[in-house]
Chains A and B, each alone.
Chain A
Amino acid sequence: MEIYISEFSKYVIPLLITLYTLECFAVFRHDDEKKRNGIYTRQCILLFAFHLSCFMVICFETGDMTYLFFYAFQQIALYAFMVLYRMLYPASNRLLVNNICMLLSISFTILTRLDPAKALKQFIISAASLAAALAIPFFIHKFKFLKNLRWIYALVGIGALGIVMILGQTTYGSKLSYSIAGVTFQPSEFVKILFVLFVASALYQAAGFFEVFTTAVVAAAHVVALVISRDLGSALIFFVVYVLMVFVASRNFLYVLAGAAGGSAAAFVAYRVFTHVQVRVQAWKDPWSVIDAEGFQITQSLFAISSGGWFGLGLYKGTPRSIPFVETDFVFSAIAEELGIIFAVGLILICVSSFMMFMKIASALEDRFYQLTAFGLGVTYIFQVFLTIGGGTKFIPLTGVTLPLVSYGGSSILTTLVMFAVTEGLFIIRQEEEELLRKAERKKRKRKVKTGRPAEGENFSAVRQRKYMEDLVGDEVEDQE
């Protein structure tokens, strides 16, 4: 009986995720969120079907039906999150909400299989974080002063990283976390958001050489603190996010070239100075020659990825636990082994579709501060995905960062959910911008009919805003043609 169920689910699960992933990209065919409703509803059905199939397999494979209760709690939490989000924010972007739920259900599934105790912890942290994420768009919307806090972001960020650097306990060669009242925090996760806010607030008005230079000093302070703490993955994320945000703010490609040159030089120096960098590069170039030492993790990860095949070995049929730190740094390899390559690629594409939505939202935002924030958060997210998946598959050297929303780790889950929620808040602001413009346009047209000349000084007083509004109105007319 079990064998039939596990064989059946082996093909059903990749099918469900493939359909879900296709819907993720179908979203981008429509510009209007309302036209996407059908897609979102289908995604919800696929998501819950997937989640249920996975837990059915878990129950049958372990012979322990109590996992169904665990499943029920997860299902309620995710469903409540979806429903409440729509109720509180009718203008929210549902693709991001669906993807959050999909990634969390993948996380619950694979963590339950790997380590039920950790899965339970993950679930509790996720539920709390989801609740927090419900409130964030409201604050983003209300707190118009966020763009004025640049030095606070910088001070808090550098301060937090500095404390870790000096006091933090050493975890596996990297000083990453400290404990407050028994709860371990990994500040580099939260500081990512502060850093994006800092760069956005420092550059949104002007991105000339002076602004770029002063922010570069602050960015360098973050990166150096992380490098000294041996958190190379985070250091790299901060660096790349900074360079790309400067590029978008300044619209000058030379900054990317300068960043690439500076980054290469810094990487070279780091390679020469730090032995643990050399070790990682060696383990990347030829892990097989150091298979019982530095190359052990990555080779075990490669064994896992290669053994699954297209459809995976099935949950509980592989041995992903042979990879050290599988729940945090190598969760992707465990997924590839037991759920298969098709599933793993689907997972990558879900992350990519979330990122594309971040970029769409950033593009559409008129306010430069909000635009830079959405862009920075999107890049932070996707670059981290790239580092962890690329590192675990020997595409790039291993840096030891988590897969957002899927890996085990409270700080990571909370940070990523805050990032998504902030972006949701920005999306809602954008929707309102548009709504306002539409109203203004209608009035303008009425005026045009009445007086035969354009309206003046209606809703917006600033000349600049007035101008772009006209641009947008003009464009919308173009679109209708």
Chain B
Amino acid sequence: MKTRNKKRNKEIAGVMWFFILLFFSLSGYITYYAATHRQELINNSYNGRQQMLIAQNTRGKILSSEGEVLAQTVEDDQGKEIRQYPYRNLFSHVVGYATNGRMGVEAQANYYLINSNAPLSQKASLDLKEEKYPGDDVYTTLNVALQQVADRALGVYQGAILVTEPSTGRILAMVSKPDFDPEQIPQIWEELIEDKDSSILLNRVTQGLYPPGSTFKIITSLEYIRENPDTYQNYSYNCSGALTRGTDRIQCYHGTVHGSVGFERSFAKSCNTSYANIGLSLDKKAFSDTLDELLFNQKLPVEFNSGISRIDVNEEMTDQDMMQVSIGQGTTSITPLLLNMITCAIANDGKLMKPYVVEEIKNSAGSSIKTFAPSAYGELMKQQEAQILKDLMKDVVEEGTASRLKGLSYTAAGKTGSAEYGTIKGESHAWFTGFAPAEEPQVCVTIIIEGAGAGGDYAVPIAKRIFDAYFEEGTP
């Protein structure tokens, strides 16, 4: 009977299986959608469930990696909830604020902060007292001591500092100046919004877009090594202080004449004319592919908001544009975050770990609800390429522009930059990006100081203070 019916009614069976498959995919879709979009949707301001959770739970705390409270909600005399930031301006951008919108960890981890996984017995007893449940606490990777050192080192300058662990991607410190007091946000909000030129609320580390200047020579070098894997060491160039193509003229910083330079020395001395010369030899298509691999012109693989670094290399480019791009000038812009990520990849044998700041969620009783393990993005470059770049960056410390990091209790490697901006010649942002110890990198630092001058003079000393603090205190 079975076989005959199948034969007789294969149309009905076909329709039946069609609908079964349809519902199978529908169920799969619903399950997948609900499982992956929960947080994103609850953070949407049109979602009323957020208000419901806020009414039900007290917003959780944000803490440093060592448990210092960076943000907490307390009740004032009238029983009104206020959000306290004990370190005031210190963590303004990275921890952010939660009134008048949200920013920083307050925005990124909002879902956890407004949910409560408090033990049932605690909830039951709070129910009896008609009190709110405590929201879950967010533990970050931030280190208060390093943040303080970085903050003081930047001082009154505007700029940004990012300190990360290359082997994990943990963000240890993130300073952006000018800063603000997150507790005062409701009071100063009008002023901040009305003043269109003010960029106080901008997190310069993740969203500031700067010309990379000479730090870009790391990338130009990488491309040159890729195109000349066996012969790059034979490179030589005679620097006369300037290189002219048509109407465009590339000069070395302060017009220095470097004379005859090889590949290593061009990098260590940051010789602009030599790099313009290298740039002219590069294959534009291959260069453009390398830049894509290095995450230019795309959203970065991070869980927080970040800006998109822009660069334009195409087959139709003129020699003048190519010379500008090779030394990190022209229309290129980069976030300190991306430069730090590339530096970390070099320090970590070419493998990029995704930078992250939220490390663990715990409930009010201290039990872990969720941990965020380090996760790899993938290889930005081959291990051999990373090793060559590492050696180049070591030379910058040993005999180049970052010699202030030479002869210390630890070894360091890095690249300086003095990125010219605006139309006035000679005004430049001071850059440094690098890591220490040079052989087994543990910590990676990226610094930009707006309008300060040469990277070697201004940014490198700050890097030294941060490295000093890191190694004195032991591994944080």
Contacts and interface: CB of A to CB of B under 8 A. Distances in A.
A7 B117 CA distance: 12
A296 B47 CA distance: 10
A395 B3 contact: no
Interface string A239-251: 0000010011001
A395 B30 CA distance: 8
- Most A CB atoms within 10 A — which of B4, B5, B11, B34? B34
Nearest to B27: A345
A77 B13 CA distance: 35
A7 B123 CA distance: 11
A420 B405 CA distance: 83
B11 A352 contact: no
A306 B42 contact: yes
B192 interface: no
Given A2-B127, A3-B127, A345-B27, A359 B13 contact: yes
Interface stretch (B15-23, B285-293, B461-469): B15-23
Interface string A168-180: 0000000000000
Interface string B435-472: 00000000000000000000000000000000000000
B224 to A, nearest CB: 44
Interface string B30-41: 110111011001
A479 B2 contact: yes
Interface string B406-423: 000000000000000000
Contacts of B16: 355-356, 359
Contacts of A341: 30-31, 34-35
Contact of A386 (B3, B23, B34, B47): B23
Interface stretch (A118-126, A130-138, A213-221, A468-476): A468-476
A58 B448 CA distance: 60
B28 to A, nearest CB: 9
Specify the main secondary structure of chain A where it touches its partner.
helix
Given A248-B11, A362-B9, A386-B22, A345 B30 contact: yes
- Most A CB atoms within 10 A — which of B41, B46, B49, B120? B49
Contacts of B31: 341, 345
Given A344-B30, A352-B20, A379-B15, A303 B1 contact: no
B29 A393 contact: yes
A305 interface: yes
23 contacts: A3-B127, A291-B44, A303-B41, A305-B33, A306-B37, A307-B49, A318-B49, A336-B34, A345-B27, A351-B23, A359-B13, A363-B8, A363-B9, A371-B9, A379-B19, A383-B19, A386-B19, A386-B22, A393-B33, A395-B26, A475-B3, A478-B3, A479-B2
Given A362-B12, A364-B5, 14 more contacts: A303-B41, A303-B42, A318-B52, A341-B31, A341-B34, A341-B35, A352-B20, A359-B12, A359-B16, A386-B23, A394-B33, A471-B4, A472-B1, A475-B1
Interface of B: 1-5, 8-9, 11-13, 15-16, 19-20, 22-23, 26-27, 29-31, 33-35, 37-38, 41-42, 44, 46-49, 52, 120, 123-124, 127
The 5 closest A-B pairs by CB, nearest first: A475-B1, A359-B16, A363-B9, A303-B47, A248-B11
Interface of A: 1-4, 7, 31, 244, 247-248, 251, 291-292, 296, 299-300, 302-303, 305-309, 318-319, 322, 336, 341, 344-345, 348-349, 351-352, 355-356, 359, 362-364, 371, 375, 379, 382-383, 386, 389-390, 393-395, 471-472, 475-476, 478-479
